[in-house]
Structure 1
Amino acid sequence: MRRYLPSLSALHAFEAAARYMSFTRAAEDLGLTQSGISRQIRNLENFLGVPLFHRSGPRLVLTEVGATYYRDLALSLDRLQEISIDAVRGRSVDSSLMIGTHYTLASRWLPERLGSFIAANPDIPLEIAPALPSVDFETTRLDIAILRGAGTWLHARAIELFTEKLAVVSSPGLIPPGTRLDPLEFSKFPMLQNASRPSLWLHWLRVAGLSYSGRIQGTRFSHNDMLINAAVHGVGIAVIPISFIEPELAQGKLHMPFGDAIPSGDSYFVVYPERKAHQPSIILFRDWLVRQTRKYDRYGASRK
């Protein structure tokens, strides 16, 4: 008996459109035209006999049926991908790990530690991908993530790793090493801004218990690596999570003339989907990561 299945192309088009909530971005992702995406989804809706999107001008909203269909479809496509990978490499995808985290943490904090896991588990393939704290653990393709937040994610389990701590840092060329300044003297120096966390200076003032009514302005950088590089070269001072700048602090390229790092109120957590909670490779990586961060106390970046 022939299976009651729509075309795979139509399913891909719908999954991408629902993930991005945009026909244009779905088309870019799949290498199709916007009209091609629209046609595939129209064909899928005709096949199912129900609308999947409400269309209000350029804005897309999933119908109730569409939202349920998307969640189930995303899981099914993930599973189809997994068994296809299994067939290609001759082993179960359960033995591999897709790890998601903040881009800067992935490029600066994680590599320093990851070597010991790879050395101890050479048969577990790893893939590192960017992930936002807003990741949907019901549908994500990630196996496990390292995320900043308050510790609550739907459809997921989370274990605290370490407290995020913030410091105002300077290069030795801008402020001599060993100098200790009153924290409010920061206003005497050019201030660098973080476009991805634009309120970070105000947040630092609040958690430091400082009262300041002046203007906070300065060159804005869209990425943490740019901001850190500018601080190292003496362009200005910056508020930076110290987990991002361990090498620069250790090498003396940056220092903390306005006082020690202070907790931001957030922590980093290892987070993984409930539906994958018993996958052996996830448990192995989770436990290794917890052991690594239990001793993570350099520059005051310890657990609470």
Structure 2
Amino acid sequence: MIELQDIKKGFGDKEILKGVSAVMESGKVNLIIGASGSGKTVMMKCIVGLIEVDAGKILYDGKDFTTMDTHERKAIRQEIGMLFQGSALFDSMTVEQNVMFPLDMFGTGSYRDKKKRVAECLERVNLKDAARKYPAEISGGMKKRVGIARAIVLNPKYLFCDEPNSGLDPQTSLLIDQLIKELTVEYNITTVMNTHDMNTVMESGDHIVYMYQGQKQWEGSNKEIVFSNDQLLNDFIFASEFLREAKEMRQHELFSSGKWKEDLKNKGGNESGDDKK
């Protein structure tokens, strides 16, 4: 679990994060959503330590990341996997070599053990036959899957994904979402994802933090989001007439099944009492 306690960050006289508190839950896909300039990217960079917060705390399983020294932070970072927006593969390395890179940096096993682990990860993302190919020889969706394999090769406790569906067609995007969700549950990972993709929000959003002008405007699940009365959230998520109609259909589906009542009861509702209806 990752917990944010009243974190603040500014650059010069511009305040970006204005006291954000949230919990990123283990075994779930935690989404950070919001319009450009809302502070979501800065928040993710603060969580992984690429940017230092001005105030507040970031806790990894109860340990205060903000007060750790370099050695202590390195230990946490070895438990972090990162999936970059552009995949960030090394062009001069094969798929196998790209996935092995973190093992060469941080691993202590033999080359044979590393190669076996790489093969396991490539098979898990259905890329076993692409091991000897170079990034230029594979598709965008395959590059994303290589990135996922590299991100999980060290058996991370935490997985950060920056716009994992960027530049992908809708069908491939759904496959990437499904894979990330499966891995999150399978390995009980705390997955944190920045996304603008509404399919991701509605299909994979176990826990969603909606940022607006540097503050947490709303927090809840993809089922709760359908019944939210937060106008800013609704204007952002269901901006088009098509999406508003899709929301009404989803509401009807959830009402008919009665499942939404159980979900809200188990969670205890979100932070806004207006949304529990």
Q: TM-score, normalised by structure 1?
A: 0.23
Give TM-score, length-normalised by structure 2: 0.24
Rg bigger for which structure? Answer: 1
Higher relative contact order (CA 8 A, sep 6+): 2
